[in-house]
Each structure stands twice: as C-alpha cells, then as structure tokens.
Amino acid sequence: MADIVVTDLDHTEHADHHDVKPIRKTAMWVFLGSECVFFGAMISTFLLYRNTTNGGPGSEIFDIPFTSASSFVLLMSSLTMVLAHNAFENRDLRQTRIWLTGTALLGATFLAGQIFEFTEFIHEGLTLPRSPFGSSFYMLTGFHGMHVALGVILLAAMAVLSLSGRLYDDRGLNVELVGLYWHFVDIVWIVIFTVVYLLQV
Amino acid sequence: MTADLEKAEAAPAEHDADHIKHPTPKQYWLIALILAIVTAIEIGVAYVDALDGAPVVTALLVLGAIKFGMVVALFMHLKFDKPLYKAFFLIGLVGAIGMFIVVLLTFRAL
C-alpha cells in the first residue's frame, strides 16, 4: 500500500509534464499528415502544368548537377538533425548546440542555393506569371523554401535556447518536435527532387 | 554552462524509454551514407541514355520511395514510435497520393 502511495505522489509531481508532451507530439504528426496533403496538391498541380510553358522556358533550364548538390546538402542536414536529437536525449548540451547550428547552416546553404537557382531561372525568362509551368514550379518550390526558412529560424532559436539552459523547458517546442518538422521538410524535397527535377530530364 | 548542466540533470528522463530502441550515432552515419549512395544512383539513372520512359520513371520512383521510407522510419523514428503517430502520418500520405491520382485522372494527365 505504501508503495502505491509513493508511486501516486511521484506520478502527480510530473503529471503536467507527462500529459502535455504526447499531445504536442501527436499534434505535430497530425500537422505533418496535413502537410502531406498540402504538398500533394502542389505537386499534382505542377504535373498538370509541366508542359504548359506558353512558348517560354520549361524543364530544360533545370541545372540537375547544381540541384543535386543542394539536395545532398539538405539530405545531410537530416543527419545533423538526428545527431542533435540524439545528443539532446543524452543530455549533452554542447553537442546538441553544435549539431543544431550545423543543421541551421546546412538549411541556410540550401536556401542560398535556391535563391541563386531562382535568380538564374528569372534571367532565362522563367518568371511566375510567364506560364502555368512557371507559376506551379515557383509555388511548389517557393512554399518548400518557406518551410525551410521557418525550420532554420526554429533551429537557430533552439541553439540560442541551449545557451541559456532553457532547452529542456517543456512548455514550448523542443528539439524532438523541431527535428520532426525538419525531417519532414527533407522528405518533401526528396519527392520534389525526384518528380519535379529528375523525371523531367 | 553550469546552469546548462544543472538544468539538463534536473530534467525528467522523458526519452529514456524510447532512446533504448533508437539507432546509435554510428548507425545514423551509415544510414546517411546509404541515402547519399541512393541519391547518386538516382542522378545516374536519370542520365542513362540507354534507359528511357517507363523503366526510368519506375526506377526513380522506387529509389525516391526508399529514401523517403528510410528518413521517415529511421531519422523520424516512426519505426520505433507509437502506432497512433504512424496512423496520422499514413492518413495524410494516403490522402495525398489519392488526391494526386484523382486530380491527374480527372484532367487526363495520367
């Protein structure tokens, strides 16, 4: 009986903590599921209009070697993210900070590559209003880029929080949730790279 | 830094149960290496002149699906997590694929 009382007291002490975390993680998975549909709609739209160039540039202007390098950078950022999460679980704040910062830098590198790519395409005549192909391409890759940008901000915020020792404050986002979001951004790019770039070569 | 360590030690061991099953950092590096190799194969397949049409499309979709599955299962830990999380993600994924097929069939683009 005494054991039961002690167990109950211990459970009550962390009741808020144990109740909130699974709910937030479930909410994140629901959000990611809904994001699948969102990007599914965008990819479908691109495939519908992939040949509707209105005489303007089409997929022939894609620079596959350059985009492959960008894809590799984003893929490797998933590795640094999972290493950050692993360090976070092992209570190694220094390693967590290093890997979080590395992930943010790789994300920023990918974004810089995307901005360069967009600039090149605009110089070659592929603008947003030029054709349905251009509109659907920029909407899809642009929205993905915005997701990457948000991820970079979240990663930078996590790195700053680790400096003040608030990384284990469980009231807001934590490394695991930001990690899930980041990996999702990566898997969306895996699909975009295959369907939008490689299949159009 | 001391404050960091104190905070870290004071934090409840919320992930311990999950952590036992997760891959080690060495395994994460190995997974990343496999992903990089699959990406290289993808790029190679896209440029092989001998292959054209359906074989290329099939090969690229299969290779993309392998990468997608590895990241979701091993980096996002969905393989080790609760079935509820898998269900929510699969509902979204199946919804996306279903919508994709319906849209392309409706506009006769498939």
- Asked whether residue B1 is assigned to any structural domain, the reply reads no
pLDDT (mean) for A159-176 = 79
Which pTM does this prediction carry?
Answer: 0.85
CB atoms within 10 A of CB A67: 21
- Residues B23-40 as b or e (16 or more Cβ within 10 Å = b): beeeebeebbeebeebbe
The fold for domain A18-200 equals Four Helix Bundle (Hemerythrin (Met), subunit A) (1.20.120)
Predicted local distance difference test score (pLDDT) of residue B20:
53
Residue-wise pLDDT tens digits, B31-80? 999 999 999 999 888 887 666 778 888 999 999 999 999 999 999 999 99
Residue-wise pLDDT tens digits, A123-150? 999 999 999 999 999 999 999 999 999 9
Select the residue from B1, B4, B30 to test the A interface by mutation, using most A Cβ atoms within 10 A.
B4
Report ipTM (2 d.p.). Answer: 0.83
Same domain, B66 and B110: no
- Asked whether residue B54 is assigned to any structural domain, the reply reads yes
Crossing angle of the two packed helices B83-106 and A15-49, in degrees rounded to 10: 20
- Asked whether residue B10 is assigned to any structural domain, the reply reads no
Instruction: State which amino acid sits at residue A143.
Output: F
The answer on pLDDT for A40 being more than 80 is yes
- Asked whether residue B106 is assigned to any structural domain, the reply reads yes
Helix (H, G, I), strand (E, B) or coil at A69: helix
Rounded distance, CA A187 to CA B65, Å? 10
Which residue matches tokens 């194969």?
Answer: B41
Q: Tell me, yes or no, if A17 comes closer than 8 A to chain B by beta carbon.
A: yes
Q: Tell me, yes or no, if A16 comes closer than 8 A to chain B by beta carbon.
A: no
Joined tokens for residue B90: 């699969």
Taking every pair of Cα atoms in chain B, the longest distance, rounded to a whole number of angstroms, is 64
Domain boundaries, chain A: 18-200
**H or E, element range at B82:** none
Q: Tell me, yes or no, if B100 comes closer than 8 A to chain A by beta carbon.
A: yes
